[in-house]
Amino acid sequence: MSAISSRSSDTDSPVVNGEAVPCIFRHSRVWLLKIKDVGSLRVATRQHSIVDFPPDALRKRLTHSLHSKRLADGSRLDTVLVFDAQTVSEPRVVLPAIWMVEEQRWDEVADVLRLAEQCGRCTLPVRLTADDINRHANKTAYLAAPRVLAQLKMVGPHIDFGNGVTFQLFQHGDTLRAIKDEDGFELDIDPPLPLNHPYQQHRQQHDPPVRSSIDYDRFLGWRSMTGET
C-alpha cells in the first residue's frame, strides 16, 4: 500500500561537495512532523533534494511510534505487532506503516492476535512484511473497508490454522472471503439483525458483525455449509 507518493532517489541524505547537508528534516527531527506533513513535503519538494527524509530516519520513527503507541489496556503496540526491517525499509512502504501505526487504532486486532497466541496459532509480536502492507493497493482501498477488517487482511495470514491454512481474507470483486478463496467462503458484512439481537447494542461501523457459512470439521477441515440443511 502506498499512502503517500515518494521520491525515486530515497537512498541518502543531501550531499554537497561530498558532505552531508544538515537540515531540519534529517534523522530524528522527522519526528517533529505529522506523518501527513512528511508526505506533503516529500511530494512538494521532488525537485529540491535539500529537503529529504532518509529511509533510516523514517524507519527509526516507525520503531519509535510502535513502542510509543498504547493500546486500551496500557500495553504497547510493539508487544503484539512489529514491521519486518528488511522488507519494510523503503519510504513507499515505511510511510504507510507509520500512518497506520500513528493514525489508526489497533485494540481489536491486538485482542485477536493475543487470543490466537493463547491457542497456539501465532507467535507475538507478529511481524508484518511489505507484502502484508501491499494487500491494500493504496490508502483509499484501505479506508474503503471497516478498519478492523482492513487490518485483519494484513495480520490474518500470520494466524496459522494448520495444514497450510491461515486466517486469510481474500478480496473477490465486491465480496470478501475468509480462510479459502472459494465459493461458499464469503463474508456477509454488517448483515441485518433482529431488533433484540445483543450485537445491536454494540454495533460499530469500524468493527461490524459478519455472517458466514464457514464451518470446521475435525475430519474434513474447513468447509462451506452453504446449501446444507
Record the pTM. 0.78
> DSSP string spanning 107-148?
HHHHHHHHHHHHTTS--SSEEE-HHHHTTSSBHHHHHHS-HH
Quote the mean pLDDT of the chain. 83
| pLDDT exceeds 80 at position 56 | yes
Q: Which three cell numbers stand for residue 23?
A: 537540515
Domain ranges of the chain: 1-159, 168-229
Residue 19's pLDDT is what? 54
Which of the four pLDDT bands, split at 50, 70 and 90, describes residue 1?
A: confident
Asked if 84 contacts 122 with a C-beta cutoff of 8 angstroms, the reply is no
Mean pLDDT of 23-33: 48
| pLDDT exceeds 90 at position 26 | no
Q: Which residue has the higher pLDDT, 13 or 62?
A: 62
| pLDDT exceeds 60 at position 67 | yes
Task: With residue 216 as reference, give the H or E element that holds it.
Answer: strand 214-217
Q: For residues 145 and 156, what is the distance between their CA atoms, to the nearest angstrom?
A: 15
Q: For residues 72 and 123, what is the distance between their CA atoms, to the nearest angstrom?
A: 21
Q: For residues 226 and 212, what is the distance between their CA atoms, to the nearest angstrom?
A: 9
Q: Which residue has the higher pLDDT, 88 or 1?
A: 88
Mean pLDDT of 11-29: 48
Q: Which three cell numbers stand for residue 3?
A: 499512502
pLDDT tens for each residue of 146-196: 999 999 999 999 999 999 999 999 999 999 999 999 999 999 999 998 888
Exposed, middle or buried, 194 (CB in 10 Å: 0-12/13-18/19+)? exposed
Residue 55's pLDDT is what? 85
**Amino acid identity, position 96:** P
List b or e across 86-101, with b for residues whose CB sees 16 or more CB atoms inside 10 angstroms.
ebbbebbbbbbbbbbb
Residue 228's pLDDT is what? 60
Residue 202's pLDDT is what? 76
Residue with cell 525499509: 89
pLDDT tens for each residue of 124-138: 999 999 999 999 999
Q: For residues 45 and 60, what is the distance between their CA atoms, to the nearest angstrom?
A: 22
